[in-house]
Amino acid sequence: MTTARERVLGRVRAALQDVPADEPAERSLQRTYADSHGMGPTLEVLVDRLDDYKALVRRVRPEELAGQVAAALERRGAQRVVVPSGAPDGWFAETGVERVPDSREDPLPLEALDGVDGAVTGCAVAVAESGTIVLDGEPDQGRRATTLVPDYHLCVVRAEQVVDAVPEAVRMLEPTRPLTWISGPSATSDIELDRVEGVHGPRTLEVLVVAADG
Amino acid sequence: MSATFLGIPPFPEAAHTAVEDSQLRHNLRKATHTIRDKRGQVVDELGDDWSALRSEGAAIKEHTLRHLDHYLEQVEDSVQRAGGTVHWASDAAEANEIVTRLVHETGQSDVVKVKSMATQEIELNQALERAGITAYETDLAELIVQLGDDLPSHILVPAIHLGRAQIREIFLQQMAEWGVPAPPGLTDDPRALAEAARVHLRERFLSTRTAISGANFVVADSGTLVVLESEGNGRMCLTLPETLISVVGIEKIVPTFDDLEVFMQLLPRSSTGERMNPYTSMWTGITPGDGPQEFHLVLLDNGRTDVLGDTVGRQALRCIRCSACLNACPVYERAGGHAYGSVYPGPIGAILTPQLQGMSSEVDKALPYASSLCGACYEVCPVAIDIPEVLVHLREQVAEGPGHTGEKAMMAGAEAALSSPATLDAAQRAASLARGAVPQHLPGLAGNWTDTRSVPEIPEESFRRWWKKRGGERS
Ligand code: SF4
């Protein structure tokens, strides 16, 4: 008896009789398209796009970061936040908010994650043109659930992590890691096409963009 | 894939009042024009680069299709290396059987689902139901459609035919039956409705151990699956459960991870008209300690290899389901998604459905005529599918086939939808053809029409009114 696998592959091969046998199966990108589109100064573009998505966004200098983290959590009224194990302690030097650690090795149960007031993480790459932050599960970004279940996500983006456009970002990413691309808070336009920010993902996304010149 | 039913008013009876018809027309117009404008802006913003991206996108997909056997084997290898299990399904029945068995093996009787056209195509929810498994749709529009026992009408905004007041009614009446009830004071403010959906599904996401998804892309070299979404229900389904089962058509493959450079620009801009959709998840097999620890990929043929074998029609398999062609189409704008009688509506549905199903029924044969060949669909298609070329090609097949006397009458379909009440007569002849092809019990495109109900007779008079409402009038 033939298996479904043999059946499907057999049908595919039968369907492709017109393809010359010596046509190479591998293909590399021609890349006649641009790496980026000259939309403006990288960080300004990123801030503009995030703002457009109704994310809260601030540019800060490195020495202001701890104060700004504290201020953001204070504005949010957060008491307890989940923090992936690899997030730098320095971020929290000026806040008294309780930090609940989480990691792949020692994950919080879902109910506990559902009970915290927010998540504070870093990121792998950010894309200015599309206002996108990419998380790749490294220890400063944590498990995917950490930035999904709590209703508030505070993300620290360092200037050197920001690229202009999507092609540059894709080249920097490691496909075998779990990747989450985030462009603003969760949203829906399913009801009469009126955009509503906030459905199942965090309803508030706040971004601190850290650059030496602020 | 099961029978289509062009010509049957595939709405619940309640949707047939004149008021709701004008609501439908109004919603459709607003939706197609709004998204079309937004798309135009974000596409123009990239200047000449758009056409470079479009050629590359088309070339990647075309190349993959020409070597699909090679890439299918590569996908299988990469996904298994990354800890996933790959299953092959030559048709809907096999795919449903595999998924049902996998869910049974988890010991669960509830699954959460993230919007997937492939699983609609194979009627997975109905198959699961027969096996005692309840599938909960989690995309807001799919939730509305499921609670309302209705059918999707647009690829991107499946509930676009419903207004906020109707959605409020559906939530108030149906949510309790499916889980957490709607709050008693629920208003029809979209914010309140979205909040009700959040509360309704929250517990479900946190407690359900098995999820079913589709995918926008499957990357052959890395074994990565990609899902683009907006609401976060996708992330919930792809992240929180212990077992994830993804059902994916064999045409969704791209060769390399780098190809996403192209598609992550083409798809969001073409689809929602955004520079980027709020969330995209990419996962490769399993990651210890993060996300589902069991992952199954079901590779689905179900007619796709027939499309592949037609050198003109093959290009339909490049489709990345962005829905730009729906929003650009003057016929879709007037006829609405349900008129296509298929999970794939609009111009892409008009070329994909008859090919997937082999043009065996009069209904399928009528679909290639649901167009005026104006070419707007080709202009906006991010992978440059020449839809008019395929339509003409399929019309030739219909004309060459047996019993093609209906051609002239079917041709009237698009005309009637576009302009002239004078063609109504001809359109009705097309309808009688469709009527002749409608079985009393559809094997079931959508559950609402299958297990529990018999298909209503199409009364001459109400069809006339229906067709006229949808297309016969000038707008
Ligand atoms: S045919 Fe082209 S425009 Fe239409 S949905 Fe598919 S990719 Fe988009």
Element (H, E) at B44: helix B18-44
Residues in chain B with CB shorter than 8 Å from the CB of A192 are 27, 30, 163-164, 190
- CATH classification of the domain holding A165: 3.40.50.10420
Q: Specify if B418 maps to a domain.
A: yes
* pLDDT number for residue B472: 35
Residue at which a domain ends, from B249, B276, B304: B304
Judge whether A145 and A178 are in contact, CB under 8 Å.
no
Per-residue burial over B5-25, b if 16 or more Cβ lie within 10 Å, else e, is bbbbbbbeeebeeeebbebbb
Are B440 and B293 members of one domain?
A: no
- pLDDT at residue A194 in the model: 81
Name which of A178, A186, A198 is nearest B290 (Cβ-Cβ): A178
In a domain, B377, yes or no: no
Domain holding B154, by residue range, is: 22-28+47-304
Q: Are residues B300 and B411 in the same domain?
A: no
As a whole-number percent, the residues of chain A with pLDDT over 90 amount to 90
Tokens representing A56 are 């809260």
Report which residue type is found at B472: G
Which of A127, A178, A183 lies closest to B291 in CB terms? A178
A189 occurs within a structural domain? yes
Residue B261 is assigned to a structural domain of this protein: yes
Test site for ligand 1: of B60, B157, B228, B383, most ligand atoms within 8 A of the Cβ: B383
Relative to beta strand A152-158, strand A204-210 is parallel
Q: Which pLDDT score, from 0 to 100, does residue B416 have?
A: 52
Cβ atoms of A177 and A139 within 8 Å: the answer is no
Atom from ligand 1 closest to the CA of residue B387: 1
Using a 10 angstrom Cβ sphere, with 0-12 exposed, 13-18 middle and 19 or more buried, the burial of residue B429 is: middle
Among B284, B304, B324, the domain boundary falls at: B304
Residues of chain A contacting residue B89, judged by C-beta atoms under 8 Å apart:
4, 8
Q: Is residue A88 part of a domain?
A: yes
Q: Closest Cα partner for A126 from A160, A161, A97? A: A161
Is A56 inside a domain boundary? yes
Domain end point (choices B234, B269, B304) = B304
Q: Does residue B321 lie in a domain region?
A: no
Contact B289 A105 (CB under 8 A): yes
- Which residues in chain A are contacts of B60 at CB distance < 8 A? 27, 29
Nearest CA-CA distance, residue A197 and chain B, Å: 8
Residue in A25, A104, A188 nearest the CB of B231: A188
Q: State the pLDDT at residue A183.
A: 96
- Is B364 within a domain? no
Number of domains in chain A: 1
DSSP state of B454: P
Average pLDDT over residues A203-212: 96
Token pair for residue B260?
């996403």
Query: What is the per-residue pLDDT for B413?
Result: 54
Residue A14, in any domain of the structure:
no
- Residue B418 has a pLDDT of 56
Q: How many domains does chain B have?
A: 2
CATH number for the domain that contains residue B267: 3.40.50.10420
Q: Whose CA is nearest to atom 4 of ligand 1?
A: B325
What pLDDT is recorded for position A99?
Answer: 97
How many Cα atoms occupy the beta-carbon half-sphere of A178 within 13 Å?
A: 23
Listing DSSP states for chain A in one string gives ---HHHHHHHHHHHHTTTS-TTS-S-------S-S----S-HHHHHHHHHHHTT-EEEEE-GGGHHHHHHHHHHHHT-SEEEEETTS-GGGGTT--PEEEEE-SSSPPPHHHHHHSSEEEE--SEEETTTTEEEE---TTT--GGGGTSSSEEEEEEEGGGEESSHHHHHHH--TTS-EEEE-SS-EE-TTTT--EE-SSS-SEEEEEEE-TT-
Question: Looking at residue A5, what is its pLDDT?
Answer: 98
* pLDDT at residue A86, rounded to an integer: 97
B190 touches chain A (CB under 8 A): yes
Tell me whether residue B439 is in a domain. yes
Phi, psi of B462 (to 5 degrees): -75, -30
Q: Distance between CA atoms of B156 and B158, rounded to whole angstroms?
A: 6
pTM: 0.88
Identify which has the larger pLDDT, A113 or A190: A113
Same domain, B420 and B288: no
In ligand 1, which atom is closest to the CA atom of B323? 5
**Mean pLDDT within A72-84:** 98
Residue whose CA lies nearest to ligand 1 atom number 8: B322
Pocket test for ligand 1, best of B315, B319, B326 (most atoms within 8 A of CB): B319
* Stretch 45-104 of chain B: residues touching chain A, C-beta under 8 Å: 45-47, 49, 52-53, 55-56, 59-60, 63, 66-73, 82, 87-90, 94
Say if residue B188 is in the same domain as residue B74: yes
- The DSSP secondary structure of B187-231, one letter per residue, reads -S-HHHHHHHHHHHHHHHHHH--EEEE--SEEETTT-EEEEEESS
Give the integer Cα–Cα distance in Å for A13 and B309. 9
Cα torsion at B6, B162, B419, B316 (round to 10°)?
A: -50
Q: Cβ contact (<8 Å) for A33 and B53?
A: yes
Complex-level ipTM beyond the 0.95 threshold = yes
What lines the ligand 1 site, CB under 6 Å?
B 270, 319-325, 348, 380-383, 385
Question: Which residues, 6+ apart, have CB-to-CB distance to B382 below 8 Å?
Answer: B53, B54, B57, B266, B267, B269, B270, B320, B322, B324
Ligand 1 center to residue B75 CA distance, Å?
24
Question: Using one digit for the tens of pLDDT, what is the confidence trace for A164-183?
Answer: 999 999 999 999 999 999 99
Task: Say yes or no for a CB contact (<8 Å) between A188 and B284.
Answer: no
The 10s digit of each residue's pLDDT in A109-158 is 999 999 999 999 999 999 999 999 999 999 999 999 999 999 999 999 99
Name which of B27, B199, B196, B141 is nearest A190 in CA terms.
Answer: B141
Over B110-132, what HEC string results? EEEECCCHHHHHCCHHHHHHHCC
Which domain, by its residues, includes A196? Answer: 42-210
What's the CA gap between B50 and B383, in Å, rounded? 11
With b meaning 16 or more CB within 10 Å and e meaning fewer, what string describes A17-56?
Answer: eebeeeeeeebebeeebbebbebeebbebbbebbeebbbb
Is A66 within the bounds of a domain?
yes
CA distance B174 to B146: 10
- The residues facing A188 across adjacent strands are A196
> For chain B, which ranges sit under pLDDT 70?
1-21, 402-475
Residue B41 CB burial class (10 angstroms; 0-12, 13-18, ≥19): exposed
Tell me if A14 and B309 make a contact (CB, 8 A cut-off).
yes
A105 domain residue, yes or no: yes
What are phi and psi for residue A23, nearest 5 degrees? Answer: -70, 125
